[in-house]
Amino acid sequence: MASRGKFSGRIGFIAAAAGSAVGLGNIWRFPYETGENGGAAFLLIYLICMVLIGFPVMVGEISIGRNTQLNAFGAYKKIGGAKWGLLGYWGIISAIMFLSVYNVIAGWAFAYFIQMTNGVLINTDNFDAHFTSQISDVTDLFFYSLGFMVLTAVIVSRGVKKGIESASRILMPALFIMLIGLILYSFTLDNAMEGIKFYLIPDLSKVTLSTIYNALGQAFFSLSLGMAALVTFGSYISKKENIVTSAALVTVTDTTVAFLAGLLIFPLVFSQGLSPSAGPGLVFVVLPGIFASLGVLGPIIGAVFFLLLCFAALTSTISLLEIPVSYLVDEKGYSRKKVVIFTATLVFIIGIPSMLSYGAVDYFTNFTFYEGKVKNVLDVVFDIFSDVGLPLGGFLMTIFIATKWKKANFNDELEEGNPGYNGSLIQKYLNFSLSYFAPIFLGLMFVVTVLKKFFEIDIF
């Protein structure tokens, strides 16, 4: 077997795992989900979901990885046998497919950073039309997405410590510095306080079952759960590390980035008197227009923001690529560099139909019809492997711990590096959540999503 590598210690693991969690879900998706779901009310429910379900599921995934010191397939197979190994395969396949579309969206962010830097974007008259033109321009997007994948592959090829950990130690602090700097600037804008009020003062009358459903989905998407990323990263840490405190720090870091992203974007939006419920186009259509209105500082602020978006995307693409790479290194014994070249190439090729699905090729653009509307290839992949696949993976993981690994073995694993864990309040809390809260809510989320998307039955 080829050498697997290890994180240097807790800080290295936290930086890498937080990098895995922090991504486009925090900077791109969280603000528009918050804007569409009532602002502070959504933020409050999101935080509750993080504590009650996100954090316990993260602890579960990390503990499975560390116990076995194997990739996702190897971990589930070692503890549960060949049938449970299929859950590991699902995580690996999900990572490949999710990365194939994630890299396309990362290419959009990279393109906007370049265009903001060279002045093309800031001088655009119609930002909506520019975005539509940009994502349908395959020649342009091909090279931006390819560049992003090459950079991801170079980092992963260097290994766990020299590649993933070293990059995360640089990217994560840089991300925080840029984010805080942009927030401080946004607070100086006229009417910024209205955006802060919208974001921080909850109107509980806006809380509905749909709010809870969307908040839980965002929490799972944001933490990269249900896709074996944390199982994989957990396999690279030693028995001396305290999984509970490490997972708590990762969860806090991820939540903090999402919170800060909202604290940046809503003052910007309200400073221009715009609606916060602009949907997925909030970052790529609304914000460029805001940057253009900021005078001489606009291009600088815009360039830093899209660089921030690129950094966030890169920390996630690194972890997504590592999932299949770890499998091939462990199970097949291939060298890491050869595996990375093969896997990155495969993922990029798989992503080409998604790249072509915004007007470049009609077949991929009008690929199928469900949920009452036409769906392109990127939509289909995202729906199956993110909206449906993540809660399914998380639900099955909780069932795996309860029925196959057993809670006693799970607790004993958490006792390693954390003397006094057994019998503590945190043990009772984690056991209760993984036995009741997580499987019930994730199971319901999976069923509701399948009914809504593929059978047009909207329970809410």
Q: Which of 79-83, 99-103, 218-222 has the lowest mean pLDDT?
A: 218-222
Residue 370 is inside which H or E element, if any? strand 368-370
CA distance 131 to 30: 20
Q: Residue 144's pLDDT band (boundaries 50, 70, 90)?
A: very high
pLDDT of 118 over the 70 cut:
yes
The pLDDT score that the predictor gives to residue 143 is: 95
pLDDT single digits (tens) 332-385: 999 999 999 999 999 999 999 999 999 999 999 999 999 999 999 999 999 999
Q: Residue 125's pLDDT band (boundaries 50, 70, 90)?
A: confident
CATH number of 10-455: 1.10.4160.10
Amino acid at site 342: F
pLDDT single digits (tens) 345-357: 999 999 999 999 9
Kindly report the number of other CB atoms within 10 A of residue 296's CB atom.
6
Q: Residue 25's pLDDT band (boundaries 50, 70, 90)?
A: confident
The pLDDT score that the predictor gives to residue 277 is: 82
Taking alpha carbons only, the member of 113, 73, 16, 67 closest to residue 320 is 16
Give me the long-range contacts of 431-437 (CB less than 8 A, separation at least 24).
431/407, 433/52, 433/53, 433/56, 434/56, 434/57, 434/60, 434/398, 434/401, 434/402, 434/407, 434/410, 435/398, 435/402, 435/407, 437/52, 437/53, 437/56
The pLDDT score that the predictor gives to residue 44 is: 95
Q: Which of 53-62, 78-87, 222-231 has the lowest mean pLDDT?
A: 222-231
Q: What is the mean pLDDT of residues 190-219?
A: 92
Mean pLDDT of the chain: 94
- The burial class, CB within 10 Å (0-12 / 13-18 / 19+), for 297 is exposed
Proportion of the chain above pLDDT 70, given as a percent: 99
- Contact assessment for residue 146 and residue 348, using Cβ atoms and an 8 Å cutoff: yes
H-only helix segments in 51-191: 55-68, 72-80, 82-117, 127-136, 138-157, 166-186
The pLDDT score that the predictor gives to residue 222 is: 86
pLDDT of 3 over the 70 cut:
no
pLDDT of 389 over the 90 cut:
yes
CA distance 119 to 106: 20
Proportion of the chain above pLDDT 90, given as a percent: 86
Amino acid at site 347: V
H-only helix segments in 160-286: 166-186, 192-200, 209-222, 229-234, 243-271, 281
Question: Residue 459's Cα: distance from chain center in Å?
Answer: 26
Taking alpha carbons only, the member of 180, 153, 52, 141 closest to residue 99 is 153
pLDDT single digits (tens) 270-290: 998 888 887 778 889 889 999
The pLDDT score that the predictor gives to residue 276 is: 85
Q: Residue 459's pLDDT band (boundaries 50, 70, 90)?
A: confident
The pLDDT score that the predictor gives to residue 97 is: 97
Kindly report the number of other CB atoms within 10 A of residue 292's CB atom.
18
The pLDDT score that the predictor gives to residue 255 is: 95
Q: Which of 1-15, 89-103, 278-292, 311-325 has the lowest mean pLDDT?
A: 1-15
Maximum pairwise Cα distance, the chain? 63
Q: What is the mean pLDDT of residues 92-99?
A: 96
Kindly report the number of other CB atoms within 10 A of residue 368's CB atom.
10
The pLDDT score that the predictor gives to residue 280 is: 77
The pLDDT score that the predictor gives to residue 2 is: 53
Q: Name the token pair of 358.
A: 């915004």
CA distance 1 to 237: 18
